[in-house]
Amino acid sequence: MKRKIIIDTDPGHDDVMAIMLAIKSNIFDIQAITTVCGNSTIENTTRNARFILELLDKQDTPIYSGASRPLQRDLIQAVVHGKSGLDGIDPTNMPRLTGDAVEKMISIIRKNPGEIIVIALGPLTNIAQAMINDPVSMSKIKEIIIMGGAVRVAGNKNRVAEFNIFVDPEAAEKVFSFPVKITLVPLDACNHVQLHLEDFKKISNPILQKPLLQMVKPYIRNIAKNEGIQAAMMYDPLTVYYLINPKAARSYMCNIAIETKGELTRGMTVGDFRTKPLEKENVTVVDFIDKVEFRNDFIRILSKK
């Protein structure tokens, strides 16, 4: 039986590739894609999500748009994805905002208690709002898999914070303190896995190869300009891949708290590494995913006709 998932996302080049990976793997029952602001505006992230489903001929997958700003702050958008959020493709389809992502997420989880895995690829605004609105239903989530955080490594938005957590730290604080099973795929694991243009050229699916090359060229260029890395960072695809092939990953349990007050440390995922931690472990932290296994499987899965 396929695992039931909701993908909460802010596409984004790597988000789009994560959606491709989830769909082409054919092992998930995607109950919905819920969109959130983050990498770009809610209009752009929703437009980009719809574009990818149309490309994959999966328009029957429901898309519900959600938060247009963080819980308490103004939106700070990413720069590596360009103005459209999908530089190189720049979709022009209509976003068709529904504004009901939170309500739909709650409804799906309520109807499928203990069965829904939420894959969170963007800021955690929608998920936190759902927890605020209906904590009883949200407590019936099977698991939340989060792309976010920098636990023992430097941040990519400030010195210590990863982008998704930085954008809405109050939402992250709510989610990490909520009593559900949480797995975190942070920069600690993602920094080691990069793909190059030659890797994407090996993807043989004729429908996907051209748009992939169109989008990854500016993505690699923008990452090189802003982060000094000459490759495509695969943050969100790795998070989906963790569910596809958990044997390729290494993890440990830790208590994680979110910094919301710090001037220099906004959005920091603070692990308790004391010999005798004072609080109970609340997160499974994935700190390694085998880059060779990921690359080979990513190319193989996306090459499927």
pLDDT tens for 148-197 read: 999 999 999 999 999 999 999 999 999 999 999 999 999 999 999 999 99
Domain count, the chain: 1
User: Looking at the whole model, is its pTM more than 0.75?
Assistant: yes
pLDDT score of 112? 98
What the block records as the tokens of 267 is: 């959005």
Rounded Cα–Cα distance for residues 29 and 163 (Å)? 28
Rounded Cα–Cα distance for residues 263 and 235 (Å)? 26
Rounded Cα–Cα distance for residues 33 and 14 (Å)? 15
Name 71's Cβ contacts closer than 8 Å, sequence gap at least 6.
125, 128, 129, 168, 170, 171, 174
Maximal C-alpha separation, the chain: 54
- For residues 151 and 255, is the Cβ–Cβ distance under 8 A? no
- For residues 149 and 155, is the Cβ–Cβ distance under 8 A? no
Confidence of residue 278 (pLDDT cuts 50, 70, 90): confident
What the block records as the tokens of 153 is: 């490594």
Query: Of the candidates 286, 280, 273, 269, which has an alpha carbon nearest to the alpha carbon of residue 151?
Result: 269
The helix/strand/coil state of 144 is strand
Query: Of the candidates 161, 167, 164, which has an alpha carbon nearest to the alpha carbon of residue 147?
Result: 164
pLDDT score of 216? 97
The helix/strand/coil state of 50 is helix
Helix (H) or strand (E) holding 175: helix 169-176
CATH for 180: 3.90.245.10
DSSP state of 266: T
pLDDT score of 192? 95
Rounded Cα–Cα distance for residues 73 and 76 (Å)? 9
Rounded Cα–Cα distance for residues 154 and 221 (Å)? 21
For residue 286, list its beta bridge partners: 251
Summarised one tens digit per residue, pLDDT across range 2-48 is 999 999 999 999 999 999 999 999 999 999 999 999 999 999 999 99
Q: Which domain holds residue 157?
A: 3-302
Asked whether the predicted pLDDT for residue 305 surpasses 90, the reply is no
pLDDT score of 277? 87
What phi and psi, each to the nearest 5 degrees, are found at residue 194?
A: -135, 145
